[in-house]
Amino acid sequence: MRRRGALPFAAVALAVTATFLSTGAASAEPANKEQLLGSWTQTDEGSQSAWLSAAGDQGQYAEYGFDWSTDYCSYSPDNPGGFAFSNACARHDFGYRNYKALGAFAAHKSRLDSAFYEDMKRVCAAYSGEQRTSCDNTAWYYYKAVSWLGSAKAQDGAAHAA
């Protein structure tokens, strides 16, 4: 009789252990999440290109639980004066939202704002003369706005104004 009781107990113990382990593994994020986030939020063009590619194939990164939501340039025009800043604003949102979720926003905010500015300057590089000057000036004002307003809003936990 002793053997019959031992077998079902062992089977139940294994089933409970397997369920617990599979539940824990399913909810865990990949260990390299912050490293990948960092690679997509640098100031250089390669980082911007990598993020644009990833944003176009978000399903490939579903296991990371990234927040891809964006309101683009918030309360400012996404394409002021015809300058296409919407992707720069979307990447900026991505960085802000995901570093806030990791509790590491303050350590990365300055770089995120600089990456935003560099993204806009790359847009401006396609222009010349007065259009280039106008684009560069607009990019500077957008950058200064997020540098200042992003800090103020980050302090009260609200979403940033990009």
Residues with a catalytic annotation lie at 92
- Residue owning tokens 């200064």: 144
Q: Which residues of 1-37 are buried (b: 16+ CB within 10 A; e: fewer)?
A: eeeeeeeeeeeeeeeeeeeeeeeeeeeeeeeebbebb
Using only C-alpha atoms, the chain has a radius of gyration, in whole angstroms, of 23
- Residue owning tokens 């684009």: 135
